């Protein structure tokens, strides 16, 4: 495996932003990963694990360590009764896997269509969309422990899955490299249509897997650009939705009605989703009532149709433009609603002083 010096990371992220990694390599199997880890240990360098780079913003200075792009490939499936256990290597393209499952008539990941990135990262932030979370179908996650080089498997219940979270981006952050994921899918139809955009479209109908996948792709394409070309790079939602309890929900309501009036409050109440004892407030309408749609900072802009998405609209944005824009959003939302939004993408190569300057950390 080649370990190259000074490789520009902008080409490896969907934002199309980021300076060079001090060293860079592409790992095709677990031996490559072990070799990369040994190199990093000898050179005393931090390691950045890269999938499709669709959930990260890399600093303009780049990453002062070894970036390891995970390119492990292959999949296999085992049918057991009404279930099928689909195991895919971490470097497989996620949406190709969804397409495969749809073609094979395996239910369970169709709502997660048209999400960029690789299979491995799906477990990292427990990817979710259209009423579905990856954790609902993940059976096992095979990992390589960085410290020991040993390979073992986590069962679903050991992964600590929650909204946009798992042990891999919280308590055990940076300790494991995911090699493959096994998904438990259903051979019997299990349409998951409770999400508003889907329920309204398919009310009273019995859509096929292909119908659902087509609908999800169509709906997503109307909301924000899929980052394929040099322009409009993005990392999907830049801010997480807001999960709060009853008391916090009441406080939020009072603050919004005080600062923006009752129409804003009604609008938000209509969007809030009650989940067990908590409320999920989609962050997009919060940005909308705060007047942030379409706001820009140099070459970075908030997407008009889905304001959680920040765009490198010209293809020439710096990471500083994006973080500057994020800082404006955080400040405005905090002033008008009292809410401190969490960022969704991983920020790579920024110093604590920079993050403090942009109001990302205290």
Ligand X SMILES: Cc1cc2nc3c(=O)[nH]c(=O)nc-3n(C[C@H](O)[C@H](O)[C@H](O)COP(=O)(O)OP(=O)(O)OC[C@H]3O[C@@H](n4cnc5c(N)ncnc54)[C@H](O)[C@@H]3O)c2cc1C
Residues forming the active site: 164, 237, 344
Beta carbon nearer to ligand X, 121 or 212: 121
Query: What is the rounded CA–CA span in Å between residue 357 and residue 62?
Result: 18
Window 91 to 150, contacts with ligand X (CB under 6 A): 115-118, 120-122, 124-125, 127-129
Is there binding between residue 163 and ligand X (CB under 6 A)?
no
Tracing tokens 């405005």 back to the chain, one arrives at: 332
Is there binding between residue 50 and ligand X (CB under 6 A)?
yes
Is there binding between residue 227 and ligand X (CB under 6 A)?
yes
Beta carbon nearer to ligand X, 180 or 297: 180
Using DSSP, state whether 8 is helix, strand or coil: strand
Is there binding between residue 349 and ligand X (CB under 6 A)?
no
Beta carbon nearer to ligand X, 9 or 330: 9
Q: Which residues contact 121 (CB under 8 A, 6 or more apart)?
A: 51, 52, 54, 55, 94, 127, 178
Q: Under rule CB under 6 A, how many of the chain's residues touch ligand X? A: 32
Beta carbon nearer to ligand X, 174 or 261: 174
Contact by Cβ (8 Å): 69, 25: yes
Window 61 to 80, contacts with ligand X (CB under 6 A): 70
The contact pattern for ligand X, residues 301-320, with x = CB under 6 A and - = no contact, is --------------------
Q: What is the smallest separation between the CB atom of 72 and ligand X, expressed in angstroms?
A: 8
Tracing tokens 């677990």 back to the chain, one arrives at: 30
Among 18, 19, 51, 108, binds ligand X (CB under 6 A): 51
Strands (E), the chain: 4-8, 20-27, 47-50, 56-58, 63-70, 75-80, 83-89, 128-129, 132-133, 138-145, 151-155, 176-186, 242-245, 273-275, 278-281, 296-297, 300-302, 310-312, 346-348
Is there binding between residue 49 and ligand X (CB under 6 A)?
yes
Structure tokens that stand for 319 in this block: 């990471």
Structure tokens that stand for 144 in this block: 């390589």
Beta carbon nearer to ligand X, 179 or 292: 179
Residues that bind ligand X (CB under 6 A): 14, 49-56, 70, 90, 115-118, 120-122, 124-125, 127-129, 168, 177-178, 226-227, 234-236, 346
């Amino acid at each position: 495996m080649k370990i190259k010096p000074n490789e520009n990371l902008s080409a490896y992220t969907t934002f199309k932003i980021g300076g060079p990694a001090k060293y860079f390599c592409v790992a095709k199997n677990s031996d490559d990963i072990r070799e990369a880890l040994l190199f990093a240990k000898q050179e005393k360098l931090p390691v950045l694990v890269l999938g499709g780079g669709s959930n990260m913003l890399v600093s303009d200075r780049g990453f002062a360590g070894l970036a390891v792009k995970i390119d492990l490939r292959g999949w296999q499936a085992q049918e057991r009764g009404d279930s099928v256990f689909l195991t895919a290597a971490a470097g497989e393209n996620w949406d190709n896997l969804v397409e495969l499952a749809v073609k094979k008539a395996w239910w369970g990941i169709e709502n997660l269509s048209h999400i960029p990135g690789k299979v491995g990262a799906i477990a990292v932030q427990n990817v979710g969309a259209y009423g579905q979370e990856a954790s609902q179908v993940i059976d096992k996650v095979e990992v390589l422990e960085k410290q020991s080089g040993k390979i073992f498997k986590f069962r679903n219940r050991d992964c600590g899955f929650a909204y946009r979270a798992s042990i891999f981006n919280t308590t055990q952050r940076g300790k494991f490299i995911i090699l493959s994921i096994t998904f438990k899918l259903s051979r019997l139809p299990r349409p998951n249509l409770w999400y508003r955009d889907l329920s309204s479209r398919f009310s009273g109908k019995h859509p096929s897997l292909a119908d659902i996948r087509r609908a999800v792709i169509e709906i997503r394409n109307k909301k924000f650009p899929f980052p394929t070309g040099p322009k409009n790079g993005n990392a999907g939602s830049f801010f997480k939705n807001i999960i709060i309890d009853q008391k916090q929900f009441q406080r939020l309501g009072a603050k919004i009605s005080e600062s923006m009036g009752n129409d804003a409050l009604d609008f938000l109440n209509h969007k809030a989703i009650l989940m067990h004892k908590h409320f999920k407030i989609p962050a997009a309408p919060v940005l909308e009532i705060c007047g942030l749609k379409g706001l820009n900072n140099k070459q970075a802009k908030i997407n008009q149709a889905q304001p959680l998405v920040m765009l490198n609209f010209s293809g020439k944005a710096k990471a500083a433009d994006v973080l500057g824009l994020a800082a404006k959003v955080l400040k405005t939302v905090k002033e008008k609603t009292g809410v401190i939004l969490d960022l969704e993408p991983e920020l790579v190569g920024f110093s604590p002083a920079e993050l403090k300057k942009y109001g990302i950390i205290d």
